Amino acid sequence: LLAPPAASAASAWLLSPAHAPNYGMLLVWAGPYYAAACACLLVSLHRERHAASRRSRLALTAVMVPTLLGVLGFINVGRALRPQYDFFPYVAMFIAYSLGAALIAIFLYGVLGIRLRVERDPVESAMRTAGMGASMLSHSLKNEIGKIKIGAELLDRELKAEPQRAAEGGAAESLELIRESADRMLDTVTRIHGQTREMDWREQHCRLDELLLRSVARCSAAAALRGVSLAAGSIQVPAKVSCDPFHLEEALVNVISNGIEAAAPGGTVSASLLRERRKLVVRIADDGPGIAAVHLPYLFLPFYSTKQGRSNYGIGLSYVYQVMKRAGGRVDVRTVEGNGTTLELTMAPSRLPDGKREAGSRNGN
C-alpha cells in the first residue's frame, strides 16, 4: 500500500521539470482510497441494524462522505486536469461543512465513539447511576436467590429419593450451599448500600486459580439440575492477580452460569486457566447453539440480552466487562452459530507483594 505514494513522490522529482507534484499519478493512487472509504461508510450504514449505532453511523457518513468526494473531485481530479487552477476555495466550503456537521453530530448522536452532552440537571445523572446500581443489585440477588432455590430443590429431591442417606450426607452439602448464598447476598447488600456512584472496588492480591475453582463449585448445583456436565479443565499455574476477589468471582460465576444456560441437557461447559505469553487467560467454553453474529457488537451493552424472559436483565456481561476493565484486563467472545461459545477473560499477573493492598484502590466509599 505504501508503494504507490512512494512512486508518486519519486515521479514528482524525476519526471516534472519544476519539481511539482504529478497530479495524474496522485489521482491514480488516492482516487481508489477515497472511493473505497466512502463505499465502506455507505455499506456499513446500510448493514447496521441497531438503532443507536445506525444514528451514529449516519452522522459519521454525513460528515465524511461529502468532503471526501469534494476533495477527490476538486483536488485530485481537478488538479490532474488543470494543474494551475486553484481549487482550494471550493474544497474549503466542504471542510467548513464537515466541521459544522461534526460539531452538531457530536452533540446529538456522537461521532467516532465521542459524544458531548450538556448536563442540565445533576439529579438526572445521579438517578441514572442509582438505577444502574439498583439493577446490578437486583441481578446479583436474583442469581443468589436462584442458587438458594436450586439448593432447596436438590435437598427435596435427595430427601424423597433416599431419606436416610440424605439426612446423613447430601443434605448437609445442600444446606451449606444455601448458607453460602445467603452470606453473599448480605455481602452484596452491604457493599452497595450507601454508595451507588461507583463500583466498590477493593483491590488485593488474589489467587485466580482458587477463584475459578470456587466459581465452578458455586455453579455445580445449577449444572447438575440442568443435566449439564461442568468441569474445571486445565489449570496450568497457581496464578496470582491484583483484583477485587468478590467482584472477579461474581464475574466468573456470571460467565459460567451463562454457559450452563446456553448448553442443552447433556451438554458440557468447561472452565480452564492458562498462561499465554505474559498474560493469564480464563477460558470458559460451552457446546451450546452459539451466538448469532447480529448480537455480537452489543453483548456488553447494559440491559442488552439475547435471552428471553422477565428474569434476564441484560446486566451480566456488562458487569463482567466492567469488572475486567477495573482489573486491567479484557473479555473476548469467540463463537460460531451452532458450534458453541467461548469467553476469554485475560489479565496480567499480579506484581503486588503477597498480602499488600494497592494504595488508593478502594473507591466509592
User: Would you list the domain boundaries of the chain?
Assistant: 3-108, 120-198, 203-355
Q: β-pairing, 330-335 with 341-347?
A: antiparallel
What strands, in cross-sheet order, belong to the sheet with 268-276?
Answer: 229-235, 268-276, 279-286, 341-347, 330-335
Please tell me the class of the 203-355 domain.
alpha beta
Vertex 143: Cα angle to 139 and 147 (nearest 5): 165
What H or E segment, with its residue span, contains residue 1? none
Closest Cα partner for 157 from 228, 227, 225, 222? 225
From first to last of the 365 residues of the chain, give the pLDDT tens digit. 667 667 766 766 666 555 566 777 777 778 888 888 899 989 988 888 776 677 778 888 888 888 888 888 887 788 778 877 777 788 888 888 888 887 777 766 655 555 555 444 443 444 455 456 666 666 676 677 677 777 777 777 776 777 666 555 566 676 677 767 767 776 766 665 544 445 678 889 899 999 999 999 999 999 999 999 998 877 767 778 999 999 999 999 999 999 999 999 999 999 999 988 889 999 999 999 988 888 888 787 766 666 655 445 456 788 888 899 888 899 999 888 888 999 999 998 876 544 444 433 444 33
What are residue 51's phi and psi, to 5 degrees? -60, -50
Classify burial at 303, counting beta carbons within 10 Å of its beta carbon; exposed 0-12, middle 13-18, buried 19 or more: exposed
Q: Which residue has the cell 459460567?
A: 256
Strand partners, 183: none
In Å, how far are 199, 229, 322 from 192, measured between CA atoms? 8, 34, 15
CA-wise closest residue to 269 among 205, 323, 195, 215: 215
Per-residue pLDDT at 310: 46
In 10 A of CB 121, how many CB atoms?
Answer: 8
